[in-house]
Amino acid sequence: MKKIYLCYFLSLPLTLTFSGCGGIPKDALSMNKATLEDRRLQTRIFDTLDEENILSASAGVLQDIGFNIDESETDLGLIVASKDRSATEAGQITLAIFAAALTDSNPRYDTKQKIRVSLVANRASEKTERTSVRVTFQRIVWDNYGQITRLEKLNDPEMYQGFFEKLSKSVFLEAHGI
């Protein structure tokens, strides 16, 4: 009986969350302190105006790291790609089993993730003959019950550095920071 009441009270906040109540965070659509930092992290400049070459090299690099191209619009310098991968981490599973044993419930742990990336090439400025490339990664993580556990942007500097190293090798050009 107690369990049913517990479910009842637990289901309320969940219902509220999923019915989308509670407004959009104030800074969701505005520039903030992190904007410039993120732009620097996610952008590199190449000494060329050959946007097509940059885009095809980028598509190649994305395929090299296992992404499938979902969408592209070369007139706008855009490539969108994604990959579905495992999200299991041994440490998290051990903790989940331990916690489940303590609370007499079923263990919950992350099982799969979808990583999405969009890459946009653009002329760096009207004055210079350079092309900027900005790449942004994000991911959605699901647990073993098929529930979404994480919605996040991926901002590890090493990830972006690694990507641009591969891209500059592929176009035989040095990637400059902004």
Token pair recorded at residue 129: 């003959």
Of 121, 122, 154, the closest CA to residue 136 belongs to: 154
Question: Can you point out the beta strands (E) in the chain?
Answer: 43-46, 68-73, 78-86, 110-123, 131-143, 148-154
How many Å is the maximal CA-CA distance in the chain?
73
By the rule CB under 8 A, 11 interacts with another protein: yes
By the rule CB under 8 A, 68 interacts with another protein: no
By the rule CB under 8 A, 127 interacts with another protein: no
Piece of 73-81, 86-94, 97-105, 162-170 that binds another protein (CB under 8 A): 73-81
Least Å from the CB of residue 95 to another protein: 21
Give whichever of 3 and 102 is closer to another protein, judged by the CB atom.
Answer: 3
d(CA 26, CA 70): 31
Least Å from the CB of residue 98 to another protein: 25
Burial class (CB in 10 A: 0-12, 13-18, 19+), 49: middle
Interface residue with another protein, options 2, 20, 90, 103 (CB under 8 A): 20
Using CB under 8 A as the criterion, which residues of the chain lie in contact with another protein when the complex forms?
1, 4-5, 7-8, 11-12, 15-21, 23-25, 28-31, 35, 38-39, 42, 70-71, 73, 75-78, 80, 116-118, 120, 122, 134, 136-140, 151-153
